[in-house]
Amino acid sequence: MTVGPDTLAALLKRKDVLPAGWESVFGMVAREDFVPARIWPDDTEALLDRDRDPEAWRRAVYSDRALVTQWDDGRHSGTEAGRLATSSASTPSTLAEMLYDLDAAPGMRVLEVGTGTGYSAGLLAARGCRVTSIEVDPHLARRARENLAAAGFGDLVEVITGDGTLGHRAGGPYDRIQVTAGVRRVPAAWIEQAAPGAVIVLPWGTDYGSGDCALRLVVGADRRGASGPFTLATAFMKLRAQRPDWRRYGGAALPDDWTAYARATTTTLGYDDVVGGPFDPVGFVLGLCVPDCLARPVLHGIFGATLWLYGADTGRGHSIAAADFGADAPTIRQSGPRRLWHEVEASWHWWNARGRPTIHDFGLTVTVTGDGVVDQQPWYGATTFPLVPPAHDWPARGRG
Ligand SMILES: C[S@@+](CC[C@H](N)C(=O)[O-])C[C@H]1O[C@@H](n2cnc3c(N)ncnc32)[C@H](O)[C@@H]1O
């Protein structure tokens, strides 16, 4: 049997992720019209080349998988996977679930950030929306424009080459904004260019981990803020300018006097408690609770693991902590003005004492506070974060 758009629509229907009115849309837009000849399905990272194996390529195109189409911002060539995946055709079921949240109806003006192949812009156009889609990479933007024109959506989608964090004022005000790249700071432009009551759906996360959660924001009447819950655990390639910036975290360098100074303590928590698996809520929740912190878990074979925590310099210098887990009792070492491990541990106990709420119980309020500046306030019901104010009362260097 030949697989095609109907196969994908039926698959998504079986997974129960298709919003009402979208089955025909997924059946109408052929993903093969957008996906290039060379792809790396993200669960294998092995090249599939349409010219060498058209059947396998087609099966991958109509599967529910993200298909990497670019590595290292286009600097990588060859058949091997590159260092960092920088563009893809997004996972269809993730797109379907985000479209459910977006609730875009025919006739609406939609801004999309992160055009990629143009497939998700094509879905919105097939739904009857008027779409402005922004792609930062000129080569990808040109290809997406060609793909959309060849698929018959050229008149319905305007592809802009540029930085999507600036939005595109001329196409607004937008009824809906869909973002298909991971966000760490919501740009003020999206709120300012949205219509009052507009819905913005974006993958959002913290520097703590590489995962994201889809966030459904509703824009306020004055267009100075937006708020809403997290709806779906996922992971997206990040906006180019919002990838983790190691310089902000001291370049992950250890202080010269790390071994002499870092105070050793222990903990009752285990590695799995605070790291969790992919899409586990714990890493995401800890990231909400412990701001300006980058966590890096490192496995040492089967015998142990270290969770490194790097604190950004927010005016008092960098902080660093290492939690070593192995056969013996864990060892915690901390240095710098913040006790990062204690912040993580206290946050974990807070989360555990509440019955380990999932990401759906959390949300974010974004307020435009100045020219292009936003404040991001995570919340859990009436509780706002950080729970434990970053502690700066650690004994002075050399003591304790
Ligand atoms: C996961 S892909 C989008 C996939 C698309 N939804 C599809 O199904 O084909 C993310 C895209 O965002 C683009 N991107 C990254 N930073 C951007 C920015 N600041 N403005 C616009 N696009 C950006 C990347 O170049 C990449 O093509």
Q: How many whole angstroms from 71 Cα to the centroid of ligand 1?
A: 12
Residues 185 and 296 in one domain: no
Task: Report the alpha-carbon distance of residue 294 to residue 97 in Å, rounded.
Answer: 28
Residues 229 and 90 in one domain: yes
* Residue 364 resides in a domain: no
Q: Is the CB of 119 under 6 A from ligand 1?
A: yes
Q: Which atom of ligand 1 is nearest to the CA of 144?
A: 9
Edge-to-edge strand order for the sheet containing 109-113?
Answer: 157-161, 130-135, 109-113, 174-179, 194-204, 212-219, 225-234, 362-370, 373-380, 383-384
The pLDDT assigned to 305 comes to 94
Strands (E), the chain: 38-41, 48-49, 67-71, 85-89, 109-113, 130-135, 157-161, 174-179, 194-204, 212-219, 225-234, 263-265, 293-300, 304-311, 319-325, 331-335, 362-370, 373-380, 383-384
Residues 117 and 190 in one domain: yes
* Residue 395 resides in a domain: no
The pLDDT assigned to 262 comes to 67
Distances (CA, A) of 11 to 7, 21, 133, 180, 183: 6, 16, 27, 21, 29
Tokens of 152: 């018959």
* Averaged pLDDT, 235-250: 92
Residues 88 and 22 in one domain: yes
pLDDT band at 372; cut points 50, 70, 90: confident
Measure the CA dihedral 24/29/31/37, to 10°: 160
Residues 89 and 164 in one domain: yes
Residues 281 and 224 in one domain: no
Task: Report the alpha-carbon distance of residue 124 to residue 261 in Å, rounded.
Answer: 56
Domain-ending residue, one of 218, 240, 262? 240
The preferred substitution site among 33, 65, 180 for testing ligand 1, maximizing ligand atoms within 8 Å of CB, is 180
The pLDDT assigned to 392 comes to 53
Q: How many whole angstroms from 40 Cα to the centroid of ligand 1?
A: 16
Q: Is the CB of 234 under 6 A from ligand 1?
A: no
Residues 252 and 203 in one domain: no
Residues 78 and 213 in one domain: yes
The pLDDT assigned to 396 comes to 43
Task: Report the alpha-carbon distance of residue 141 to residue 173 in Å, rounded.
Answer: 22
121-142 tens-digit pLDDT:
999 999 999 999 999 999 999 9
* Residue 289 resides in a domain: yes
Using the predicted structure, report yes or no on whether residue 327 has a pLDDT greater than 90. no
CA-only gyration radius of the chain, Å: 22
Q: Where are the alpha helices (H) located in the chain, listed in sequence order?
A: 5-14, 23-28, 54-61, 92-102, 119-126, 138-150, 188-192, 258-261, 271-275, 281-289, 340-353
Residues 96 and 39 in one domain: yes
Tokens of 115: 């055009």
Q: Is the CB of 69 under 6 A from ligand 1?
A: no
Q: Is the CB of 148 under 6 A from ligand 1?
A: no
Just list the catalytic residues: 88
Strands 157-161 and 174-179: unpaired
Which one, of 61, 3, 59, 56, lies nearest residue 32 by Cα?
A: 61
Domain-ending residue, one of 240, 269, 285? 240
Name, in order, each residue with C-beta under 8 angstroms of 148's C-beta and a sequence gap of 6 or more. 118, 121, 122, 125, 154, 157, 159
How buried is 373 (Cβ within 10 angstroms: 0-12 exposed, 13-18 middle, 19+ buried)? Answer: exposed
Distances (CA, A) of 44 to 66, 121, 295: 11, 26, 25
* Residue 373 resides in a domain: no
Using the predicted structure, report yes or no on whether residue 395 has a pLDDT greater than 70. no
Residues 122 and 140 in one domain: yes
Q: What percent of the chain has pLDDT over 70?
A: 95
* Residue 232 resides in a domain: yes
Distances (CA, A) of 165 to 90, 92, 101, 201: 19, 24, 21, 14
Using the predicted structure, report yes or no on whether residue 231 has a pLDDT greater than 50. yes
One-character DSSP codes across 23-49: HHHHHHS-GGGTS-SEEEETTT---EE
* Residue 379 resides in a domain: no
The tokens 């878990």 sit on which residue?
297
Q: Is the CB of 307 under 6 A from ligand 1?
A: no
Q: How many whole angstroms from 89 Cα to the centroid of ligand 1?
A: 9
Task: Report the alpha-carbon distance of residue 341 to residue 302 in Å, rounded.
Answer: 23
Domain range enclosing 225: 5-240
Using the predicted structure, report yes or no on whether residue 170 has a pLDDT greater than 70. yes
282-306 tens-digit pLDDT:
999 999 999 999 999 999 887 799 9
Is the distance from CB of 332 to CB of 196 less than 8 angstroms? Answer: no
The pLDDT assigned to 357 comes to 95
Range in 93-107, 246-260, 300-314, 347-361 with the lowest mean pLDDT:
246-260
Using the predicted structure, report yes or no on whether residue 399 has a pLDDT greater than 60. no
Q: Is the CB of 89 under 6 A from ligand 1?
A: yes
Tell me how many domains the chain contains: 2
The preferred substitution site among 240, 242, 243 for testing ligand 1, maximizing ligand atoms within 8 Å of CB, is 240
Q: How many whole angstroms from 213 Cα to the centroid of ligand 1?
A: 17
* Averaged pLDDT, 203-225: 96
pLDDT band at 258; cut points 50, 70, 90: confident
The tokens 């937008």 sit on which residue?
174
30-62 tens-digit pLDDT:
999 999 999 999 877 799 999 999 999 999 999
* Averaged pLDDT, 267-283: 89
Q: What percent of the chain has pLDDT over 90?
A: 80
The tokens 């006739």 sit on which residue?
107
Residues 113 and 49 in one domain: yes
* Averaged pLDDT, 177-199: 98
* Residue 15 resides in a domain: yes
* Residue 136 resides in a domain: yes
Domain-ending residue, one of 312, 331, 353? 353
Residues 166 and 275 in one domain: no
* Averaged pLDDT, 310-321: 88
How buried is 379 (Cβ within 10 angstroms: 0-12 exposed, 13-18 middle, 19+ buried)? Answer: middle
Q: What is the CATH number of the domain that holds 186?
A: 3.40.50.150
